[in-house]
Amino acid sequence: MTATAPGRETDFVWRGRFASLVEGYDGWRIPRIDVEEELDRAQRVVVVDPLSFPWDALRPRHERKPLVICIDDDDVAEVVDAVIGAGGLASRITPFDTVLRDRAELPDALAAPAPAPFGKDQFLVLVEHLATELDVVGRTFGLEAPLVSVHGTSTRPFEGWLEARATARRAEPGAHGCAHAAVVLLLDDAPTETADVRAAIDEAMRALTPGGSLVVVGDVVTAPGGPARPWLSELCTVVDAAAGGAVSVEEIRAVRWPGEILTRGVLLRYHALVLSDDGGTA
Amino acid sequence: MRDLSPTTDKDAASLAMENELLRYETLHLRARLAGVERRLVAANQELRRVSAAPAPGRATAVAAPGPAAAPQVDRSRNDLVWLLRRLDGSAGRWVVRRFSGFRDLKARYLEETP
C-alpha cells in the first residue's frame, strides 16, 4: 500500500485501484490501524485513488501534513465529498495541499519542494484563530458572515481559506466602505522594521470603516538570533497612532506556532469607534 | 540537566519580548474578567431588587421563619417547657395554678409535649 516511488521516503502513498504497479500489494487485507500508524509516521500524504482511501483514518492530527490528491473527474469529487461529510474535500484542502486533475502530473508534483517556510500546521493554527475572531465579529453585529478583506502578506497564501475554514465572505479588492466589515492584516514573515509595520497598518486602516473590526496578526517575539520583530508595545502604539486613537482593543491573544520553541505571534482585534456629532465616541 | 537560564543578550531580549506579550495578554484578560464581575454584581443586585419588590395587587404576607431560625425556636420551646415543669412541680404550684395564663401555657405545652 505504501510506496516510496515516485515521492520521498517519508510520503504515505495510497494507490488503491492503481496499485497494480506495486508488487505484492493487497490493500483490502490491511487493517485500518496500520493505515493510522503509517499516517502518523508520514510527513506527506499522497492519495492517488481518493475513492478507496479510508478517509475516516485521516484523523485531525494528520491534517497538519501536506496532502496531495488526484481527482481527475468531477464525479469522483462528488463521491469523495459525500464520504468526507460536512465541508467536503474543500474543508481539508489548504494552499499547502495539491489537487491534481491529471494523474500524469503526479511525479512532477511529488518532486516539487514543499511550500515552506510557513508550514501547513502553522497555517491551520492561524486560520483557527482568525475563524474564532471572525465568528465573534459576526455574533457581535448579528451577521452570519462578516465581509472580510485580507491585507499585508505576500508569503502566506490565504486564497480560498475563508470559504473553506471561516464563516466569512471575502471582500473583493477595492470594495471597501462596508460598515461592520472586518479587515485582517497579516504582518509579513520577513524581517520587519517599524516603518514597514506602520505602512502596512496605514494601508489596512484605509480599508477599515467606523464600526468595523481590525484584526492584526504578527510575530512579536523572535527566537534568539532570529530576525528583528516589533515589540508588542510598538505595534499597539503604531495601530493607535494610525487610527488617531479612535479604536478600542477587544482582544489580545498570544499565539504559539507549532514547531516553534520561542517565536510567538500575537492576535490583536480592534473595534473602530464611531465618532458622534458632539465629538465623543460610540 | 540543561541550564535554562539566559546566557546571552539575545536570549534575554527574546525573553523580554515574550514577557511583554504575556503581560499585555494578562492585563487584558484581567480587565475582561473585572468587567464580567461588575456585570455579575449588577445583575445580582437587580435580581434581589426585583425579588424583594411586592407583586402588584397582592397583600404582603407575614414572613414565616426561615430554615435558619428553626434551631432557635426549638431551643426557646424547650426552655419554656422546662420552666413550666419546674413551676408546676415547685412548692408554689398551688399559687401559680390559680393564674389562667399559667393554665393556658401548661395546657398548650406540657400536655402536648410527651
Q: Which of A171-175, A183-187, A247-251, A273-277 has the lowest mean pLDDT?
A: A171-175
More confident of the two residues B82 and B60 = B82
Residue A42 pLDDT grade (very low, low, confident, very high; cuts 50, 70, 90): confident
- At position B46, the amino acid (one-letter code) is E
Element containing residue B109 per DSSP (H, E): none
Position A174 scores a pLDDT of 58
More confident of the two residues A171 and B32 = B32
Backbone angles phi, psi at A44, to 5 degrees: -145, 145
Give the closest-approach CA distance of A223 to chain B in angstroms. Answer: 6
Instruction: Indicate the domain borders of chain A.
Output: 11-111, 120-272
Residue A3 pLDDT grade (very low, low, confident, very high; cuts 50, 70, 90): very low
DSSP string, A142-180: T-SS-EEEEES-SSS--TTHHHHHSS-EEPPTT----TT
| pLDDT tens-digit series, residues B31-80 | 988 888 888 889 889 888 888 877 665 555 555 556 666 777 787 888 88
Closest among A15, A21, A20 to A38, alpha carbons compared: A15
Position A2 scores a pLDDT of 44
Q: Any chain A CB within 8 A of the CB of B30?
A: no
Give the closest-approach CA distance of A177 to chain B in angstroms. Answer: 30
Contacts of B10 in chain A (CB under 8 A): 224-225
Whether A260 shows a pLDDT value over 50: the answer reads yes
Instruction: Indicate the domain borders of chain B.
Output: 7-54, 76-110
Distance (Å, whole) CA A155 – CA A187: 10
C-alpha cell of B69? 431560625
Residue A117 pLDDT grade (very low, low, confident, very high; cuts 50, 70, 90): low
DSSP string, A102-133: -GGGHHHHHHSPP--SS-HHHHHHHHHHHHHH
Whether A46 shows a pLDDT value over 60: the answer reads yes
| Mean of pLDDT values over A244-263 | 88
Whether A214 shows a pLDDT value over 80: the answer reads yes
Contacts of A224 in chain B (CB under 8 A): 8, 10-11, 13-14
Give the closest-approach CA distance of B29 to chain A in angstroms. Answer: 8
Contacts of B13 in chain A (CB under 8 A): 224
Distance (Å, whole) CA A232 – CA A117: 23
CATH architecture classification, A120-272: 3-Layer(aba) Sandwich (3.40)
Distance (Å, whole) CA A51 – CA A79: 7
| pLDDT tens-digit series, residues A50-79 | 888 888 888 888 888 888 888 888 788 888
Alpha helices in chain A (DSSP H): 32-41, 74-84, 106-111, 120-140, 161-165, 194-207, 232-242
Q: Are A229 and A221 in contact (CB under 8 A)?
A: yes
The reply to whether residue B21 touches residue A254, judged by beta carbons under 8 angstroms, is yes
| pLDDT tens-digit series, residues A147-165 | 888 887 655 556 566 665 6
* ipTM of this predicted structure: 0.72
A153 CB neighbour count, 10 Å cutoff: 19
Distance (Å, whole) CA A69 – CA A97: 8
Mutate to test the interface with B, among A252, A253, A261 (most CBs of B within 10 A): A252
Q: Which of A72-76, A126-130, A132-136, B29-33 has the lowest mean pLDDT?
A: A72-76
Contacts of B14 in chain A (CB under 8 A): 221-224, 226, 262
Mutate to test the interface with A, among B17, B20, B29, B33 (most CBs of A within 10 A): B17
Helix, strand, coil percentages, rounded to 5, for chain B = 70, 0, 30
Distance (Å, whole) CA A244 – CA A62: 45
Position A74 scores a pLDDT of 78
Whether A4 shows a pLDDT value over 50: the answer reads no
Strand pairing report for A247-256 and A264-272: antiparallel
Position A25 scores a pLDDT of 43
Closest CB from B13, B14, B24 relative to A232 = B24
